[in-house]
Chain A
Amino acid sequence: MPGQAAELVFDEATKVYAGREGAAVHELSLTVPAGEICVLVGPSGGGKTTALKLVNRLIPLTSGDIRIDGRSIRDHDVVELRRSIGYVIQQVGLFPHYTVEGNIGVVPRLYGESKAWTKTRSAELLELVGLDQSYAKRYPAQLSGGERQRVGLARALAANPPLMLMDEPFGAIDPIVRMRLQDEFLRLQGELRKTVVFVTHDVDEAIKLGDRIAILREGGVLAQYDTPAAILSKPVDKFVADFVGLDDGAIARLRARADVPR
């Protein structure tokens, strides 16, 4: 099964949908260093989700390349590629007919791990995502939205992938639970140090979670890719400044980050 964290490189990655005017993602080039969280943020139509899905080939590239630890995604068997990448989506998409334990075990079982192994692993992961062991035998229908997303996260981590793709994972969760999940996600990331690509439309979430933020504008063009501090202090243009809503509130939120120098 996969290992620690991988470096992810977008190299002029482009997606043009057949029969549609313009690109969804236009020559996107950026590097996510191993173990960092890169947040893709931007208005709708900015191609954030498309860019994310290019990585695990749920959407095929039109041109350009994406490399994980130097190896092009085109050179991977598509099924192997996806198994080696953790994938979390807003609607979670847990299998309704599997218990929590069964859901967490999906990818390890694909790797041929035994039932006993996946049981132990799922117990570890439940603890990691802050759920009681009694959840193991429950079905998704018995969980709240926040609990489902925790299980979704545990499932994505089950095979210890070096890269995680998260598509608005907290988008459908009420603000209080969302905040708690964000905090726990950061705590988890402090332990696990995965490479994470995280899509959100929420600037506050991007600032809170991102080691780096990639702001995409309409047509899938990268407006700016930098640390939250750099984006807030030196937005490259008016679009970025307006988008991050440079006001006192944003500065305060930025200051709230422990790692930003005052």
Chain B
Amino acid sequence: MSGLFLAKGGPVIPSFGKPDPCIKHQHWFCTSWVQKHWGDILQPALIQHIELSLLAVGIGFGIAFVMALIGFRFRVLDAPLGAFGDFLYALPSLSLFVILLPITGLTWTTIEIPLVAYTLFILYRNTISGLKAVPAEVLESARGMGLTRMQTFLRVELRLAVPTIIAGLRIATVSTISIGTIAAFLVADGLGKPIFDALEAPDIFKTELVAASALVVGLALVADGLLLLLQRALTPWGRIR
């Protein structure tokens, strides 16, 4: 195998540094490579991935929240807004990237638009169902005690919707982190880049593939855990049952 690469005359795998017995023999995972390229490949990709995921979920939540406020206030719009989210979610991500390419170019905008679009489905649905799930007797007592519509919304409905909203954020965040890897198909940023690089390497560079994928999974789990902690902190009443 290695003789074949050497016959081409160049280094074994040019972008991956000097040949190493582990790499040369195409083992599944080479710690040495990870140690060597943590600083120049994996860490920057991880940071970019965190940035692009945060941006997508942040913007997505902003839009979904406004949509949910509108759908909650004007109930006739709830179903159409939900259907809009479904529609966006159903669009194949690769086609969406390619359609946007001539308009927004090879920029983060092109990546972010589909990522944001995918979060809307779950964030809209969860936010509005959390708002709608407040028990009728709680709303009646709020009204009967003389809370205004706005006070009821801010002090009761929104507060009680927090667990459902955060549940939505958890799903949206995990799926954005995962889908975000596809973005490197267009713009060579984020953890998708080492994955695509590994796939394009001759015979697939398994170590890079495994390392980057593991980082994607690890990042998703950490983000999920952090959101769970946030939910616990915001809803002290929820743990007592």
Contacts and interface: CB of A to CB of B under 8 A. Distances in A.
A16 interface: no
Given A139-B240, A141-B240, A110 B151 contact: yes
A84 B146 CA distance: 8
B241 interface: yes
Interface string B134-175: 010111111111111001000110011000000000000000
A93 B240 contact: no
A107 B135 CA distance: 20
Given A80-B146, A110-B147, A141-B240, A93 B137 contact: yes
Interface stretch (A94-102, A119-127, A232-240): A94-102
B231 to A, nearest CB: 13
B74 interface: no
A93 B141 contact: yes
Nearest to B143: A58
Contacts of B43: none
A96 B144 contact: no
* 8 interchain residue pairs of minimum CB distance: A93-B141, A82-B146, A83-B146, A91-B137, A87-B144, A93-B137, A139-B237, A97-B237
B148 A79 contact: yes
A89 B146 contact: no
A139 to B, nearest CB: 4
B140 A58 contact: yes
Nearest to B134: A96
Contacts of B213: none
A92 B137 contact: yes
Contacts of B142: 93, 95
A89 B235 contact: no
A191 to B, nearest CB: 22
A110 B146 contact: yes
27 contacts: A58-B144, A79-B146, A79-B148, A81-B146, A83-B145, A83-B146, A87-B145, A89-B141, A89-B144, A91-B140, A92-B137, A92-B141, A93-B138, A93-B139, A93-B140, A93-B141, A93-B142, A93-B144, A94-B138, A94-B141, A95-B155, A97-B156, A97-B235, A106-B145, A110-B151, A140-B237, A141-B240
A200 interface: no
A95 B140 contact: no
Interface of B: 135, 137-148, 151, 155-156, 159-160, 235-237, 240-241
A145 B140 CA distance: 18
B235 A107 contact: no
B160 A97 contact: yes
Contacts of B241: 141
Interface of B is mostly: helix
A152 B155 CA distance: 18
Interface of A: 56, 58, 79-84, 87, 89, 91-98, 106-107, 110, 139-142, 152, 155, 165
B144 A95 contact: no
A52 to B, nearest CB: 10
A45 to B, nearest CB: 20
A110 B151 CA distance: 9
Contacts of A152: 141
A24 B140 CA distance: 20
A80 B160 CA distance: 25
Nearest to B140: A93
B237 A82 contact: no
Contacts of B151: 110
B8 to A, nearest CB: 66
A175 to B, nearest CB: 22
A93 B147 CA distance: 13
A80 B147 CA distance: 9
B138 A96 contact: yes
Contacts of A81: 146
Contacts of B139: 93
A65 B23 CA distance: 89
Contacts of A94: 138, 141
A83 B144 CA distance: 8
Nearest to A158: B145
A87 B141 contact: yes
B145 A107 contact: yes
Given A141-B240, A142-B240, A95 B146 contact: no
A80 B148 CA distance: 10
Contacts of A95: 138, 141-142, 155-156
B137 A82 contact: no
A83 B151 CA distance: 13
A97 B237 CA distance: 5
